[in-house]
């Protein structure tokens, strides 16, 4: 029985119609794709101007005939009741309603019309199919968070059954727990791994310590898909080494769709079928391919709720070889709010601190994972999980490297912990600034 297909049907998503439409989009030739995208952009704007008072009010005083003059939506704009943001004819009963995880610091409830959400699933099914994954038959090893309340927990467990997956807890990944995870892989024919980057990397470090290749105990594994957190190059190499399968980097947003997915050519291919992605500077000017800026995305099919020129809160670069049909995300740098303001006035990506520290503390395999918190403009806490305390030499090296890459005069506290604080969904935020 195709339980996954059945679950989508029972939820009221018109999958046959969506998959037919998605196939038609895929068949649009490259030479016609710019015109196709421009038409979809115009259609979705006109729809919301006519049927959505929330969006109409945002556009007051704007030249709505000029795409670049349309307002750029932020998460703050969406901090109001959902019913005020829905288009005419839509309500909470005839749309797909969900909420963001709030990992960016600004959670909100959003909606998609059911056809739009069916297209999202058609898109995901298509891209996972690149690697031989079929949601009806492929058995997933899932490293995700799960609600801890009784009802929320049971709902997710039912979803797991319908989606043919086994979910591992990620709130406690001690060696005792990881031993149990390994036993599950020995006793089950998993087809692929999917989940949060930090948790999967931690499992790979455990395998490295044990000198175990995952495919030697679970030869059915075809690939590993990581999502929701940054994947560093050296971590990708570690995963490839310890798992023995392709490592696929996924970039998505629950309120939108799959944004980018690593293709078999090892390119981070942007979803141009259901989304339009732009890179903007601080003044909302469109930047050419190859330049770093804010990632702004338009959902081309969602009629229930406008996501038009929506600033997702990330910084990135589109590759110069991008085309209208095949945009390539060259680099995802981090969230716009994941920056540290330093005493000199310099604004530095928080991941710079993380990356410099990572290159030092993980060399000997002692530190399992860590996070960095900016508590004052010149003060940072480095919280870490390890078998033993960081050495004086390691601490001094970190301080010297950060002074070299960033600036002198910064102060660091190194705090060893049994486990790190994760979000309610189980994500690990590598850097956070508490300085406003």
pLDDT of residue 163: 80
**Span 2-19, average pLDDT:** 89
- Which tens digits make up the pLDDT trace of 311-348? 998 899 999 999 999 999 998 876 655 678 889 888 77
Lowest mean pLDDT among 11-25, 244-258, 284-298, 405-419: 405-419
Q: How far is CA 283 from CA 73, 278, 280, 287, 308, in A?
A: 13, 13, 8, 11, 17
Strands (E), 131-204: 140-143, 165-168, 192-196
For residue 364, the enclosing domain spans 339-433
- Together in a domain, 306 and 282: yes
Residue with tokens 């899932």: 142
- Together in a domain, 299 and 382: no
pLDDT of residue 364: 66
- Together in a domain, 318 and 383: no
- Together in a domain, 320 and 241: yes
Give yes or no for a contact between 199 and 171, defined as CB atoms under 8 angstroms apart. Answer: no
pLDDT of residue 274: 97
Who wins on pLDDT, 3 or 225?
225
Give yes or no for a contact between 311 and 74, defined as CB atoms under 8 angstroms apart. Answer: yes
- Together in a domain, 344 and 326: no
What value, to the nearest 5°, has the Cα angle with vertex 219 and ends 216 and 221?
120
- Together in a domain, 320 and 385: no
Residue 172 pLDDT greater than 80, yes or no: no
339-341 and 329-335 strand pairing: unpaired
pLDDT of residue 37: 98
pLDDT of residue 123: 96
**Span 79-98, average pLDDT:** 92
- Which tens digits make up the pLDDT trace of 326-336? 999 998 876 65
**Span 158-177, average pLDDT:** 83
- Together in a domain, 276 and 348: no
- Together in a domain, 399 and 356: yes
pLDDT band at 174 (very low <50, low <70, confident <90, very high): confident
- Together in a domain, 316 and 405: no
- Together in a domain, 379 and 282: no
Lowest mean pLDDT among 18-32, 244-258, 420-434: 420-434
Who wins on pLDDT, 55 or 102?
55
- Together in a domain, 390 and 312: no
Domain finish residue from 278, 300, 335 = 335
Number of domains composing the chain: 2
Lowest mean pLDDT among 143-157, 230-244, 294-308, 387-401: 143-157
Please list, in sequence order, all residues whose beta carbon lies within 8 angstroms of the beta carbon of residue 371, skipping any fewer than 6 positions away: 354, 382, 383, 384, 420, 421, 428, 429, 430, 431, 432
- Which tens digits make up the pLDDT trace of 189-222? 999 999 988 889 989 999 999 999 999 999 999 9
Whole-structure pTM value: 0.84
pLDDT band at 106 (very low <50, low <70, confident <90, very high): low
Residue 296 pLDDT greater than 80, yes or no: yes
Domain finish residue from 335, 365, 397 = 335
Residue 363 pLDDT greater than 70, yes or no: no
Mean pLDDT of the chain: 89
- Together in a domain, 242 and 259: yes
pLDDT band at 53 (very low <50, low <70, confident <90, very high): very high
Angle, to 10 degrees, between the axis of helix 392-405 and the axis of helix 350-361? 150
Distance CA 285, CA 416 (A): 44
Domain finish residue from 277, 301, 335 = 335
Domain CATH code at residue 406:
3.30.300.30
Query: Cβ-count burial of 346 within 10 angstroms (0-12 exposed, 13-18 middle, 19+ buried)?
Result: exposed
Instruction: Name the percent of the chain lying above pLDDT 90.
Output: 60
**Span 101-108, average pLDDT:** 58
Token duo for residue 331? 């680099």
Angle, to 10 degrees, between the axis of helix 3-10 and the axis of helix 150-162? 130
Please list, in sequence order, all residues whose beta carbon lies within 8 angstroms of the beta carbon of residue 224, skipping any fewer than 6 positions away: 192, 193, 194, 200, 239, 243, 245, 246, 247, 248
Report the chain's C-alpha Rg in angstroms: 22
pLDDT band at 426 (very low <50, low <70, confident <90, very high): confident
């Amino acid at each position: 029985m195709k339980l996954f297909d059945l679950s989508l049907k029972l939820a009221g998503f018109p999958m046959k119609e969506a998959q037919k439409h998605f196939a038609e989009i895929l068949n649009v030739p490259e030479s016609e794709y710019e015109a196709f995208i421009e038409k979809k952009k115009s259609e979705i704007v006109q729809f919301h101007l006519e049927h959505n008072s929330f969006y109409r009010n945002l556009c007051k005083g704007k030249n709505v005939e000029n795409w670049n003059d349309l307002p750029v939506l932020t998460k703050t704009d969406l901090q109001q009741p959902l019913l005020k943001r829905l288009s005419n004819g839509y309500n909470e009963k005839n749309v797909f309603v969900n909420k963001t995880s709030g990992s960016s610091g600004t959670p909100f409830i959003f909606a998609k019309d059911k056809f739009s959400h069916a297209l999202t699933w058609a898109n995901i099914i298509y891209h996972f199919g690149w690697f031989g994954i079929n949601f009806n038959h492929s058995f997933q090893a899932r490293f995700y968070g799960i609600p801890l309340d009784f009802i929320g927990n049971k709902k997710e467990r039912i979803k797991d059954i319908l989606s043919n997956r086994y979910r591992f807890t990620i709130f406690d990944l001690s060696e005792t727990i990881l031993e149990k995870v390994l036993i599950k892989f020995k006793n089950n024919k998993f087809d692929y791994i999917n989940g949060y980057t930090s948790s999967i990397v931690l499992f790979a470090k455990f395998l490295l310590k044990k000198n175990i290749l995952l495919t030697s105990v679970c030869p059915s594994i075809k690939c590993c898909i990581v999502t929701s957190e940054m994947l560093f190059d050296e971590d990708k190499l570690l995963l490839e080494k310890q798992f023995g399968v392709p490592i696929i980097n996924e970039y998505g947003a629950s309120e939108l769709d799959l944004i980018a997915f690593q293709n078999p050519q090892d390119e981070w291919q942007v979803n141009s079928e259901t989304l339009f992605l732009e890179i903007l500077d601080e003044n909302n000017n469109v930047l050419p391919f190859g330049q770093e800026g804010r990632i702004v995305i338009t959902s081309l099919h969602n009629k229930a709720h406008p996501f038009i020129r929506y600033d997702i809160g990330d910084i990135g670069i589109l590759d110069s070889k991008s085309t209208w049909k095949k945009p390539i995300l060259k680099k995802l740098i981090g969230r716009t709010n994941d920056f540290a303001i330093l005493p000199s006035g310099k604004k530095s990506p928080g991941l710079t601190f993380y990356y410099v520290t990572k290159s030092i503390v993980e060399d000997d395999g002692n530190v399992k994972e860590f996070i960095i918190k900016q508590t004052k403009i010149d003060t940072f806490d480095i919280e870490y999980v390890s078998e033993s305390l960081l050495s004086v030499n390691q601490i001094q090296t970190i301080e010297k490297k950060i002074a070299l890459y960033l600036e002198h005069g910064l102060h660091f506290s190194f705090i060893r912990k049994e486990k790190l604080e994760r979000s309610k969904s189980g994500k690990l935020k590598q850097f956070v600034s508490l300085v406003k």
